[in-house]
Amino acid sequence: MPDRTTYLVLPGYQSSGPAHWQTRWEEADPAAFVRVRQEDWEYPDPDSWVAVLDAAIAAAAADGPVVLVAHSLGCVAVARWAASAPAGRTAAVRGALLVAPADIDNADVPALVGFRPVARERLPFPSLVVSSTDDPWITAERARGFAEAWGARYVEPGAHGHLNADSGLGDWPEGRELLAEL
């Protein structure tokens, strides 16, 4: 039986609700898209989030390649994990779709300050940063800076807010096309 790719879905702060494209992708293909379930979505602990992500990657890698599908704080968690994970673990990750990374360094949300500073080391796997021109959580300039630091390709789809349920993306087929490029 050939290896199957597991797409680990990493929501951000407060998780992704039922209308979010991440949830829709999970519901459309639950065998392939698996949510990384954090212990606390309201008061996230960076060490806990990284440990949960690491365990999820280790478990998924037993079945085949892993691709990360992160949104907002989930992108920050991926960068933090990759900066300290052993090479053997990062080798299991074939790519990462990093959507609407949150600029935690400049966010006025006390529950998120533990994630400061945002890790800016080059990611050891192919990645793609997607950020809107009018995202309230990050400027386009800062998103481009994250993409450059992470060694990621940058895609700017126009003005769509935080690229979440409030953006009205539905199933976000354009996102699936970007994911296929990885």
DSSP string, 115-164: GPSPP-SPPSS-EEEE--TT-TTS-HHHHHHHHHHHT-EEE--SS-TTSS
pTM higher than 0.85: yes
Give the model's confidence band at 158: pLDDT under 50 very low, under 70 low, under 90 confident, else very high: confident
Strands laid side by side in the 66-71 sheet = 33-35, 6-10, 66-71, 93-99, 127-130, 153-155
Question: Average pLDDT of 100-109?
Answer: 93
**First-to-last C-alpha distance (Å) of the chain:** 23
Q: What is the pLDDT of residues 77-93, one digit of tens each?
A: 999 999 999 988 999 99
pLDDT tens-digit readout, 164-179: 888 888 899 999 999 9
**Residue 87 and residue 21: Cα distance in Å, rounded?**
31
Encode pLDDT of 21-77 as tens digits. Answer: 999 999 999 999 999 999 999 999 999 999 999 999 999 999 999 999 999 999 999
Query: What is the spatial distance between Cα 28 and Cα 7, in angstroms, rounded to a whole number?
Result: 13
Q: Is the peptide bond before 117 cis (omega within 30 degrees of 0)?
A: yes
Instruction: List residues bridging with 10 in a β-sheet.
Output: 70
SS3 105: helix
pLDDT at 99: 97
Which pLDDT does position 107 carry in this prediction? 87
Confidence of residue 161 (pLDDT cuts 50, 70, 90): confident
Cα 53 to Cα 12: distance, rounded to the nearest angstrom: 12
Report how far residue 77's alpha carbon sits from residue 83's, in angstroms, rounded to the nearest whole number: 10
- pLDDT at residue number 1: 41
